Structure 1
């Protein structure tokens, strides 16, 4: 194998991975890209179990597998940097030791990257116990930019980078101890410097998994002060490459929504220790005041805007009240009709959002504004004002949406389906308004997932509005016997068919015998009751 022939170098940091590596290794050995066109570089971070010996055995058995043994650093940054320094491929793909790749991932993503001349190529991800950026993978994006695509929703490093691009800009992971958000430091700079970034959405490339027991080192609870110090360093990267204005505000919004507001929502906040919450609220408030222009929070949906505003004001008790309310938010969806015609399944649904026994609702003020009704008092009107997002919002983040998602049971593949929908504002019996969603989609099982449809599928409706989002499974069981096969659809609302009963004889002699048996049965019952 010559260095010039290598297309991809896969870099995998490991630490005490043990048998947890097996699924990843199996997926690497199944790659459709020929073994002489890619290499795998395992960088072991001072494991103390059998992992080093397992890796050495793999390298001895497979010439395109290599192992670097490093002193313990305690964080994945240094192992990844060592792997990049050793890499010889045209592109570098980062993979974690508890994740795995789809069989054609390297071939498809490399082909897509070279076809479009990309510095960064992002393959569709599926989460197994971990969240992944769903909206980014709605469609293929051969030339995605920070201005027209939600790239900032995906800041983990599990992507394919042109190696020359990494070298030209000295893109490396920070190695100053256990720095949180180490992926953000590299990937944010990469997005801002990339000449072209592409997103491959029509094939699942990467399976992102949480290690059994949840003992991923970087998944441990954050220490607020150090975490937000690192976050502000990432904001420094954004500020160094952008000017004040709408683009910078939109980029900053990503960290406000996901790293700050999301930590103060629903069951996640309600179940957190109070001293930890106080620390997070203090850091969020400081960051909002010191680093964000007014347009950052103002561009959020009403619920997220309210949480950010209450955190800025230090109103922790009110945050707990909203968290309890939000933990009860559910999507109530009704399957109105469905029809299977050949390979095409058409579904119509309607739905609403509720919290407990009351709808998620809006109060209308005398001047015509519509305010999100939340279980807190004395909230500044500008925080809960939904008028723009209910009437005129053009920002996808703030606009109410209805999505239908098809999910394959065996591997978790998810696909957004093309949906036509409308959202009505209707009065409810407690006063005020609530939203009603109505939508319709058609699924062609000859083309869904490129015709790879074998298996059982679940259909889910997702309602989004004013910062709330909830899913509801539709009562349809869909199964394809083979790829591209006509689906079998079972309505789970219908009772199972009764077993066939043997035909009853209807001749005169049979009728006489039944009459005699019935008369004898009644006589026996009377004799028992009167004895």
Structure 2
């Protein structure tokens, strides 16, 4: 009997219909059913959840269901699931999430190949922004890679013997941040951690009833602050203290300080919540900051975060609120050069920069060799009247291009880096911006593999001075219009365009929403070429690969044509069927949603004689020959004409 490779553990409580939505992704794995098991642990549900689970188990031998009295949180059910697990690895899944069809097989193979204690699979989510951790697949790393702290949810694969050896358990009962406690302990103990970034393994999606919204995570009544102190203690107990801002302990604590503590002093929370309630949170966060975090953690923060920390630890709630108002208004401007195709990739220069609420760049001013934060951001902030020093403008600064698969909610990282730099603006002022070149390759975008048929929106993420923003990459030109000519790449048509409304750069692959037609009409109208059964399409960049099918209309007759790579140049060839049921003559060929012909088909006896560009003008002698084209002697003479393709 095959050994169980993976045990999937799913805690459930009053899940209802979400059981049926999640289950197909667990039962439809590429890993054979006798090589993994699905363990549901019901935490005392009071609705029909248990009945749904028992129906699943009755129809699938590798599904088991366990029940327990309600504990109030998923930690207990997960621990119980681990006690029943037989797999070499355990994978935690929440009842309202989904796995990619090949997730278990790929994660297990990656784990065993690298002898990993923990494997972090690429997550796709509608609730959090894309994580830099998933830019590249990593065979092996340790907690020294602090980017691991970007992924603290339990939705990972853990080697069961490793978990048992170190006695790793989730805190039980109503214990907020039970996932942080378990994952932090695992990271600190693991000798080898692997990251699988080239395949979307886990889909963490917002429920339509808001039941898994992360806004509900913060709840002081469930021990938020004591639990946070526990996790801080884990990090301190597993690492050495240091006065160096880049010491391991300080780098790991940065995540907890920034996300769990400093959130109480920044937008949107400090501006959204009831002021009386938020003041209480603010004061408690201040106590935790002063008592639990070394001074080096705050010293290592970028400029904006550093001022927030100063206001928090100084107890200045009003100052923190005023500063949050200024920062909330900060947005990002993207400047995109003219996109064009180069070697099968859509290429364009890109620059992004921070803007204040008045649409002017966020600036740094230089005085006596020292940089100071934009004074417009400090207006009305008590204690900052004399300015705020920016020790290192590039501290933790980065920017990157990300592409969203609109249909599947997957995020991918194209080739091309954005370099952060200071841009002189005159009068001792400089703006912090990031610039570089976008390389969008449909054949390699999905983790080095071709993307599927779909629509791909281009975004940029920036983190400058401690201000992070996602921004749509917008180019010049009319919204809804083509951003560049279409390309035939790898046998698929890629159509770059600007979305209606905002004009975001977007790539349609395999005509998911766009159609080859309007994108080629202007260029095709000027085409004066003449071919046999093929005709070059101007401005259609061709890459290696097989032809792509397109719908065309020839004088009212709808048929399927091909767009094929031209072996002699960076264009594509339009190829029509050899026979068409049309009368003799010259017939316009149009593409979908395009009025102007892309070509003319010359038909004789139901056969395609040749294709001509709209601007092609045949000489009088050739028109006579066409009229008698069915004469054998004429055809022999015609083949000898100058310019006739051999």
Q: TM-score, length-normalised on structure 2?
A: 0.71
Of 444-453 and 370-379, the range deviating more from structure 2: 370-379
CA contact (8 A) 2:422 2:431 kept: yes
Match of 2:182 in 1: 186
Q: Which runs of 5+ in 2 are unaligned?
A: 476-481, 506-517, 523-593, 598-613, 615-646
Q: 1:232 to 1:125 in 2, by over 3 A?
A: same
CA contact (8 A) 1:132 1:154 kept: no
Q: Does 1:489 align with 2:496?
A: yes
Structure richer in helix, relative to its length: 1
CA contact (8 A) 2:299 2:306 kept: yes
- Give the alignment of 1:316-465 within 5 angstroms: 316-341=317-342, 343-357=344-358, 358-373=360-375, 374-375=377-378, 376-379=380-383, 384-390=388-394, 393=395, 398-399=396-397, 401-426=398-423, 428=425, 432-449=429-446, 450-465=449-464
C-alpha deviation, 1:406, in angstroms: 1.1
- Distance across 2 between alignment mates of 1:200 and 1:186: 20
CA contact (8 A) 1:188 1:234 kept: yes
Q: Which runs of 5+ in 1 are unaligned?
A: 504-531
- Distance across 2 between alignment mates of 1:204 and 1:36: 23
Aligned residues: 492
- Distance across 2 between alignment mates of 1:359 and 1:500: 44
Of 330-339 and 356-365, the range deviating more from structure 2: 356-365
C-alpha deviation, 1:142, in angstroms: 1.2
Q: Deviation string for 1:139-191 (max 9, x for gaps)?
A: 1111122223411111111000011111111111111x311110111111101
C-alpha deviation, 1:219, in angstroms: 5.0
C-alpha deviation, 1:500, in angstroms: 4.4
Q: 1:422 to 1:158 in 2, by over 3 A?
A: closer
- Distance across 2 between alignment mates of 1:405 and 1:361: 26
SS of the residue aligned with 1:146?
coil
- Give the alignment of 1:26-41 within 5 angstroms: 26-41=24-39
- Distance across 2 between alignment mates of 1:113 and 1:444: 29
- Distance across 2 between alignment mates of 1:382 and 1:108: 56
Match of 1:262 in 2: 263
Match of 1:44 in 2: 42
- Distance across 2 between alignment mates of 1:82 and 1:35: 22
C-alpha deviation, 1:368, in angstroms: 2.8
CA contact (8 A) 1:59 1:66 kept: yes
- Distance across 2 between alignment mates of 1:60 and 1:430: 75
- Distance across 1 between alignment mates of 2:42 and 2:387: 49
- Distance across 2 between alignment mates of 1:383 and 1:440: 35
Match of 1:212 in 2: 208
CA contact (8 A) 1:144 1:151 kept: no
Q: TM-score, length-normalised on structure 1?
A: 0.86
CA contact (8 A) 1:453 1:485 kept: no
C-alpha deviation, 1:441, in angstroms: 2.0
- Give the alignment of 1:39-188 within 5 angstroms: 39-128=37-126, 130-131=127-128, 134-175=131-172, 177-188=173-184
Q: Deviation string for 1:425-459 (max 9, x for gaps)?
A: 34558983322332212122112212233211001
Q: RMSD of the alignment, in Å?
A: 2.8
Of 270-279 and 472-481, the range deviating more from structure 2: 472-481
Of 415-424 and 449-458, the range deviating more from structure 2: 415-424
Q: Decide which structure has the larger Cα Rg and report it.
A: 2
Structure possessing the higher relative contact order (Cα contacts under 8 Å, 6 or more residues apart): 1
SS of the residue aligned with 1:200?
strand
C-alpha deviation, 1:420, in angstroms: 3.5
